[in-house]
């Protein structure tokens, strides 16, 4: 089922999401629907709050297959790099955002199994953006002062 993507300034995008205590059949259906919604909208990542559910779930597919991250936490960050990012909740806005070049993340998969992953490149940037979403942070919050002025002039914030 395709879900409605919440768009800025919807207040749910500013909520800190709740940890998942148990992977229920409802959570599994939500994950399936999130993937379907992400693919339908040509996204590479989607967090549950973006579809109106304030739970710590992110789904990603950066070209190497679907991945699920439940209760993700960044354990390590290395280096810095600017990367142009867009967001399904802030359509039409693309910003150069400075993020860690490499990260290590711990999370649960859709079966409730804990795993760790080292990520770099697109996967690292997408993971950082989705983990931001779970904390109520959007790409416009990470924009430079000059980018924020431009966004205000364009009526995007």
**Rounded Cα gap, residues 155 and 25, in angstroms:** 41
- Element containing residue 73 per DSSP (H, E): strand 67-78
- Which tokens hold the place of 14? 């500013």
CA distances to 59, 103, 143, 154 from 121, in Å: 17, 10, 19, 30
Per-residue pLDDT at 156: 74
Q: Per DSSP, what are the bridge partners of residue 116?
A: 106
Going from N- to C-terminal start, the domains of the chain cover: 11-153
Exposure class string for 25-58: b at 16+ Cβ within 10 A, else e: eebeebbebbbebbeeeebbbbbbbbbebebbbb
Per residue in 82-94, pLDDT tens? 999 999 999 999 9
Told to judge if 4 belongs to the known catalytic residues of this protein, a careful annotator would answer no
Helix (H, G, I), strand (E, B) or coil at 93: strand
Question: Which of the residues 4, 106, 120, 130 is marked catalytic?
Answer: 130
Kindly state the tokens that stand for 156: 């995007």
Q: Is residue 111 a contact partner of residue 27, using CB atoms and an 8 Å limit?
A: no
Mean pLDDT of the chain: 95
- Contact of 115 with 109, CB cutoff 8 Å: yes
The token pair that represents 120 in the structure block: 């770099």
- 3-state DSSP assignment of residue 117: strand
The model's pLDDT over 42-66, given as tens digits with 9 standing for 90+, comes to 999 999 999 999 999 999 999 999 9
Q: What is the pLDDT of residues 100-142, one digit of tens each?
A: 999 999 999 999 999 999 999 999 999 999 999 999 999 999 9
Instruction: Report the CATH superfamily, name and number, of domain 11-153.
Output: Peptide deformylase (3.90.45.10)
Contacts of residue 24, defined as CB under 8 A and 6 or more positions apart, other chains included, come to none
């Amino acid at each position: 089922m395709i879900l409605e993507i919440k768009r800025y300034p919807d207040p749910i995008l500013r909520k800190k999401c709740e940890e998942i205590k148990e992977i229920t059949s409802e959570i599994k259906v939500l994950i399936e629907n999130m993937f379907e919604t992400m693919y339908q909208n040509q996204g590479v990542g989607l967090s549950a709050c973006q579809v109106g559910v304030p739970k710590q779930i992110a789904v990603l597919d950066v070209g190497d297959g679907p991945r699920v991250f439940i209760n993700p936490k960044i354990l390590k960050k290395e280096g810095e790099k600017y990367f142009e990012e867009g967001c399904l909740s802030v359509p039409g806005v693309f910003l150069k955002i400075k993020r860690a070049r490499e990260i290590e993340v711990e999370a649960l998969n859709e079966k409730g199994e804990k795993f760790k992953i080292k990520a770099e490149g697109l996967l690292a940037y997408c993971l950082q953006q989705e983990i931001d979403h779970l904390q109520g942070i959007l790409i416009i919050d990470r924009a430079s002062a000059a980018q924020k002025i431009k966004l205000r002039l364009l009526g995007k914030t």
